[in-house]
Structures are given as C-alpha cells and as structure tokens.
Chain A
Amino acid sequence: MNASGKRLTLILLMAPLLIWLVALIVIPHMEILYVSLREKVGVREYEFGFANYMVFFNEPLYWNTFMRTAVMSILATALTLLIGFPVSYYIAKLTRGRSKTILFLLCLIPFWVSELVRTYGWMILLRESGLVSGFLQYIGLASEPIEFLYNDAAIMVGLVYTSMLFMVVPLVTTLDSLDDSMIEAAYDLGGGGVSVWREIVIPHAMPGIVSGCIIVFMLSLGNYLTPILLGGKDSLWFTGLIYSQFITRFNWELGAAFGMLLLVLSSTIVWAGLKLSGQTLTRTVGR
C-alpha cells in the first residue's frame, strides 16, 4: 500500500473516535465555556466578562454547596474504598472458581436495573412508612414512625451503594494479579497481618485503589439522581444547582459557569489525589 493509502486507512480508523471526541466532548465544552463568559446586559445583548463567575464567588450559598459536594464526594469515595477493599480481597484471594464468579455476579446484579429503580428501592426501605421504620416499631425500638430519608446519611448510603461496583472491579483485578506466594513469603519472613497488608497488599493494589477512587469520586460528584431523591429538596448538591440554573431559571450563562467550575474542581481534586498517592494517570487508568 502506498503512503497516501496508509494515511487514508488511518484517518478512516480514527474517524469514529475523533468524531466522538470532537462532537460530544470538545465542542460542547467550548460552547459551555463560551456561554459562561457572556454577560447579559439586555434582551439578547451580551458582552464578554467574568460576571457569572463573580456571582458564584460573591454568593455564600453557591460556595457552600460547592464545597459540601466536594467533601461529601470525597467521604463517599473513602467509605466505598473502606467497604469495597475487604470485599474485593475476599473475592480475589479467598474464593476459587465457581464461588468467585457467583460473588462477582452478585456485585453486578444491582446494575441490571436502572439507577432510578435502585434509588426507589432505598426510598422504600428508608421512608417514614418504610420497611426499616416499620421493623423498628414492630420490635419495639421505636414508638412512632421514623424518617430516615432526606438527610446527609441517606445521600451517603445511596452514593456508596451506587458506586460500589466501580470500586470492586478495579480492586479485584489488581488483587488477582498479586501472587499468593508474595503474601506467604511475607509471613514466612516474620510479617504479621498488619505489616503484610501495609507493605505488600496495599502497595500492590495502589493502582487499583487510585483508579477505583477516581471513578467513584467522579460518579459521586456528577451524580444528580441519588442526592436529589434521597436528600430531598434541601440536599444542596452542586449538580442540582446547575440543573436549576439551566432548567428552572433559564440562566444558561450562570449554569455554564457552574459547569466549568465543577470541571475545574474535579480535575483539581483528582490531580491532588494522584500527587498525594504518588501515582500517575497512565499507571492507574492506563492499565
């Protein structure tokens, strides 16, 4: 094949990826950046400026929601890791063959139904007339119905539940690749449970931990359904603010500015996380 033929093949093969990247990622973001930098001075009259961003910095409610979303997402990520790690270790190291497949499937099954249905499942359990409240009354621990929904704990439960699979999958993969004899060697050389975990298991699983955390953090930060449904109208989730600017207030300019801020926030936190754990994006996500 001649040189131009090779070029054509390359372009044709790259085309779907390039179209997808440009049309669905680059162009919308450029558009949002452009919209966010427009100041409305009159009806259909705009001029360039940072007024939309200034609104965000001058209004404590926006600020607080922004920080609250970040902190809650980090917390949700940490909790998911804390629960997901033992589960993954059990699946990867302590089970064999059939039971391993079954346990893995059990983690996957909740994701066969839509997120909406799953979240309604939690609402059925946690609402005032729900199963948990009814059970507590039945065994006599509560004298009247208790509302478990519409608070931060409910949001946290929903976020952790929704994200679990995305933590377990990368962790199981990395832990699977840890040679059993490595753990045995560490015990043989005098290591105890704690030191084997600290020096062998966790350092080996680090790429999996970091990639799992990145995915879970992104999912939590950008989650809209779970915080709104489980947290109620006072959930104060940043995606909720973006939604209300775009849809309720028709203030696309401010909504676009919020969107850009969310992008900057998530990128900054992921970058900081990578720096803190001494990992790189190519080593973790690129595996």
Chain B
Amino acid sequence: MAEAVNDLDCRDISKNFAAFKAVRDVTFSVPPGTFFSILGPSGCGKTTLLRMIAGFLEPTSGDLLIKGRSMLDVPPNKRPVSMVFQHLALFPMMNVGANIGFGLRRRGVAKAEIAKRVEAVLERVGLPGAGPRGVDELSGGQKQRVAIARCMVLEPDVLLLDEPLGALDLKLREHMKIELKQLQWEFNTTFVYITHDQSEALVMSDQIAVMNHGVFEQVGTARDLYYNPETAFVAGFVGESNRFAGKVEEAGGGTLKVRTPSGLPLMGTAAAGSLAVGDAVDVFVRPEAVRLSPTSEGVAGQPNVSSGLVDSVLFNGANSRVLIRDAATGGEIDVALPQTGEFHSLKRDDPIHIGWDTAQTLCFAAAGEGS
C-alpha cells in the first residue's frame, strides 16, 4: 500500500444502552506509534469506547479497523489489541512470569521460548529476574510495569490503557507518567490511553481527544487544546480558567467587547465561529495569562484592566494562586502568582492591579452549553 496504514480507525462509532446514547458517531484515526489519549469527565463514554475497541462491547453502528482490517466480527481474544485494566487485573494465582507468559501459552509458543521472551520483556520494563516473584510482593509501580509487560510480550498493534494510574498515590502517579511515556517510546507501539486527569493526558500524549457526552469535542495536540480550544467545554476542562458569562456589545475587527451582568467590560476574541452583537457568550481567561502589578502603571496599555483587593493567597509552591476581589463588580478572579520574587509578601487585603491581553480572552457562544 502506498500510504501508511493507520493502526486504529474508528468510523462513526456509536453505542446505545437502551435509550441512552453513550457514544455518538465518533470518528478518529491513530497513526502508528502514537500516544493517543481520550480525555473526559467520568460518564462521558470514554470507557465504553475503549471497551468497544477491545471487543468487550459491540458497537451499535459504525466500523472499527485495526491496521486497515475491520474488527467487528473478531472476538476480544483474537484481536491484535491488549488492554491494561484500571485495577490491572494481574492474576493473583500465578507468579509474575506465569502472568506474562499467559498469552504466549495460549498461542502455543514452546516452553523455552516463553521463558526467553518473558525474561526479555521483564528486562525492558526494568524488572529483570522478577519472574518467580508473587504478584502480591510487588509495589504499585512494579505491578503497573508487569501489567504492561504482560500485554507487550504479545506484540499487539494497539495497547489500550484504562486509567491505570488512577489507583496510585500522587507521587508515584507523577513518576509513572514519565515512565509510561518512555515505555511507549521504547516499544514504539500505539497507545490508546483514557483518563479523566488532564495532566496525565497533557504530559504523555501526542494526540488528545477531549470527549464529553459521547462525542469528541476536539482532537489535537496538548498545545492545541490548551492555547486554541475550539469549544467552551475544552476551554473549561483543559487547564484552569476564569469563566465569565456576558453579552457581546461590540463586534468588529476580530475583537469583541463583552459586558458581564455585573458590569465588567472585557475585550476578547471569538475562539470559534463568529459572534454578533447581542449574543450571549462564555468568556475564559487563564490564571497564568493575567499580569499582576502593585500599581496601575504596571498594567497600563493592557486591553483589559481592573483593580481590587487580594482576597486570599493560595500558596502551593510553583502553582500558587491569588484570588482577587474586583473593586468595581465584586467578582472574584483567579490569578497565578508569579514566582519572580516581586509578590512574595503579598497578603490579604493588599490593593492590586491586574491586566490581560485580548488574545488571551476567549469567547464562545453560550447557547447549547448546559452547565
């Protein structure tokens, strides 16, 4: 074939449970060697989608291709995909080696060959010689690696991961994020990873699909999603945002003038589609896009300026935040605390000035967005 075949193609996949549409006409392709994440809140249909790819659920309509071959009539034990389960599902009645060798034994591989391949894959995940150990003797991170090794030893075309980091504590989770990415790079296999944790998706993925109510809201790289969200849901779900509701007062030249119900004027840009005067909009401003200054001169020249008092300082090291109560409207604005030394002594009730750019003020039509 002339062009490279995608490892995974979903075409108009839908899944209905009685009247409930869990997944609605989802179409996407994953090229070989990609770390593809599906990010969404719980109940958005991402697990249903993953289980359809694995073969545990039958799509109501649509087609599913792996390496160009339709998988609709292929049972899960015959599909060239493997799955790492949320709670890993290592077999407690077997030792590590037997767990990893399970799939090879099913394929009728010779005993000596199994032993060789199990040891090889254990070495690749950094657990050489762990074969005879019991599953219960392993730490959380080691179990994770065994679960991945158990799948990778079968050399699947696609590895599916169902929030495998969810059960780990924070520190280990941070560590495993990097390790998972390295493993994916080393095995050079396509990973399809589902999660509700945006930082997992942002750190590891080549491509991220944001899913909500059974549809893909946007598919793109982490930067795309973060800097250029196409829908209000993506803008609100990926990263932190200050969110204002308002009405468009002036439109023209790519800049919108929006006024919030409490009277705060905002200068922003339409992120998707065109907006006309009188349209109800949701406006998103990232906390780190807001400039802080003790004086009004410091933010002069910014299209959006405001002043107020510090309501509280939420200190969290590099991720510290300041909540500022706006003097004019009484509304609260969440601002990232710059770590340049200038604001180390900032405290409650200090007067402060803020300002931010038009391009950082993203406006979306509010209609149709329920929340």
Interface residues of A (CB under 8 A from B): 179, 181-182, 184-192, 195, 199-200, 203-204
Contact = CB atoms under 8 A, between A and B. Distances in A.
Contact of A188 (B76, B86, B87, B107): B76
Given A181-B85, A181-B86, A184-B85, A192 B91 contact: no
Interface string B42-56: 000000000000111
Nearest to B94: A199
Given A179-B87, A195-B106, A199-B102, A189 B150 contact: yes
B182 interface: no
Given A186-B102, A187-B76, A190-B103, A181 B89 contact: yes
Contacts of A185: 83, 85, 89, 91
Contacts of B81: 188
A37 B263 CA distance: 104
B27 to A, nearest CB: 24
B83 to A, nearest CB: 5
Q: Which of B77, B81, B87, B92 has the most CB of A within 10 A?
A: B77
Contacts of A195: 106
Contacts of A187: 75-77
A191 B154 CA distance: 12
B77 A192 contact: yes
Contacts of A186: 91, 102
B82 interface: yes
A182 B91 CA distance: 7
B89 A190 contact: no
Interface residues of B, number: 25
A199 B56 CA distance: 20
Contacts of B78: 190
A32 B131 CA distance: 54
B151 interface: yes
Contacts of B94: 199
Given A188-B82, A190-B107, A204 B102 contact: no
Contacts, number: 59
Nearest to B81: A188
A184 B77 contact: no
A117 B328 CA distance: 86
B106 A189 contact: yes
B77 A188 contact: yes
A191 B89 contact: no
A188 B53 CA distance: 11
A191 B86 contact: no
Contact of B151 (A189, A191, A203): A189
27 contacts: A179-B87, A179-B89, A181-B86, A181-B89, A182-B91, A184-B85, A184-B89, A185-B89, A185-B91, A186-B91, A187-B75, A188-B55, A188-B76, A188-B83, A189-B82, A189-B106, A189-B150, A189-B151, A189-B154, A190-B78, A190-B106, A191-B77, A191-B106, A199-B91, A200-B91, A203-B93, A204-B92
Nearest to A206: B93
Given A189-B154, A191-B77, A184 B106 contact: no
Contact of B106 (A181, A182, A192, A203): A192
Contacts of B102: 186, 189, 191, 199
Contact of A190 (B54, B77, B86, B91): B77
A181 B87 contact: yes
Contact of A204 (B56, B77, B93, B154): B93
A199 to B, nearest CB: 7
A203 B135 CA distance: 15
B56 A200 contact: no
A184 B82 contact: no
A179 to B, nearest CB: 6
Nearest to B79: A188
A186 B76 CA distance: 10
Contacts of B154: 189-190
Contacts of B55: 188
